[in-house]
């Protein structure tokens, strides 16, 4: 599998980043557009960050650089699996970024008491009054959904949701959505993984549920698929400069999507991902063209 670092080095894009049509200075002056969380008065920047190796390993210096680059461009949503939560929460506290960073944390204690301990640690490290979003893998959420609703009622969480990254788990997610108490779901979706279009995304729009997207780059496999191919010239029609941005713009052009979660330990890639949220988004015909092009490359 080719990583994005290897892909950019191979294509020469890493050294040419400063000469892109939108310079880094120009991007620094732009902030990510925001989208309303359905049914609320709150909105989120449309590109998120989470679960990079630097956060997982507790590499505080790199993690600080990532968070600062992300905040500089208006980034807010940070997805935090179990090994990432402490790093992110600690940085939020140290940087006094309680109002800037929206923490989406996974909580999965075996008991209510254990889960409350996990929540308490996030709040202690971050200095937040409540966790912005508590979401769980669906195997945990289905039997414990009443408990998660209680946490929200008590103010431990502002939002509750469920997250999974494979379509075989969609039935459980749909069953939770049908309760009418899910605020945000997180699912996998891209031009090369479109199953969420069948039920999850339309249902979320109908029910007023926020949608965060994971696996925008297929855990890196996407870059192996596009490696050695030139970005099509027509991508420039919707302000797209790199293959990473092509995937992000396809995802973000779906009206159900609130935010797409990216993961990287490279601050330059944070900027590349931010650019995927800037400029014009592809229309329906351009989305179809992206879909056909990427499927042909993957065939």
pLDDT tens digit string along 133-152? 999 888 888 889 999 999 99
pLDDT exceeds cutoff 80 at 271 = yes
d(CA 135, CA 186): 9
pLDDT exceeds cutoff 90 at 234 = yes
Instruction: List the structure tokens of 196.
Output: 């969420």
User: Which fold is adopted by the domain 4-298?
Assistant: TIM Barrel (3.20.20)
pLDDT exceeds cutoff 70 at 12 = no
Residue 214, beta-bridge partner list: 188
pLDDT at 216: 98
Distances (CA, A) of 115 to 79, 243, 264: 18, 40, 28
* Nearest C-alpha neighbor of 114 from the set 87, 138, 140, 142: 140
pLDDT at 143: 87
Q: What percent of the chain has pLDDT over 70?
A: 90
d(CA 84, CA 88): 6
- Write down the domain spans for the chain: 4-298
pLDDT at 4: 56
């Amino acid at each position: 599998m080719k990583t994005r670092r290897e892909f950019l080095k191979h294509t020469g894009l890493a050294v040419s980043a400063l000469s892109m049509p939108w310079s880094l200075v120009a991007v620094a002056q732009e902030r990510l557009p925001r989208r309303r969380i359905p049914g609320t008065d709150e909105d989120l920047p449309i590109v998120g960050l989470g679960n990079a190796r630097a956060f997982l390993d507790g590499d505080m210096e790199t993690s600080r650089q990532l968070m600062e680059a992300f905040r500089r461009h208006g980034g807010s949503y940070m997805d935090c699996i179990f090994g990432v939560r402490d790093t992110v929460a600690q940085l939020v506290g140290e940087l006094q970024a309680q109002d800037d960073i929206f923490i989406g944390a996974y909580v999965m204690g075996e008991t209510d008491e254990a889960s409350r301990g996990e929540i308490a640690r996030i709040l202690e490290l971050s200095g937040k009054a409540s966790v912005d979003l508590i979401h769980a893998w669906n195997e945990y959420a289905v039997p414990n959904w009443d408990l998660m609703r209680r946490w929200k009622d008590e103010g431990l969480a502002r939002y509750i949701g469920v997250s999974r990254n494979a379509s075989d788990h969609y039935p459980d997610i749909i069953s939770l959505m049908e309760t009418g108490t899910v605020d945000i779901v997180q699912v996998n979706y891209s031009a090369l993984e479109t199953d969420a279009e069948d039920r999850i995304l339309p249902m979320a729009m109908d029910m007023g549920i926020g949608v965060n997207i994971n696996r925008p780059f297929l855990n890196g496999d996407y870059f192996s698929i596009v490696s050695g191919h030139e970005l099509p010239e027509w991508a420039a029609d919707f302000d797209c400069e790199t293959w990473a941005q092509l995937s992000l713009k396809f995802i973000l052009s779906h009206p159900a999507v609130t935010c797409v979660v990216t993961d990287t330990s490279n601050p330059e890639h944070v900027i590349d991902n931010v650019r995927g949220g800037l400029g014009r988004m592809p229309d329906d015909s351009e989305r179809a063209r992206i879909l056909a092009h990427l499927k042909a490359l993957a065939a």
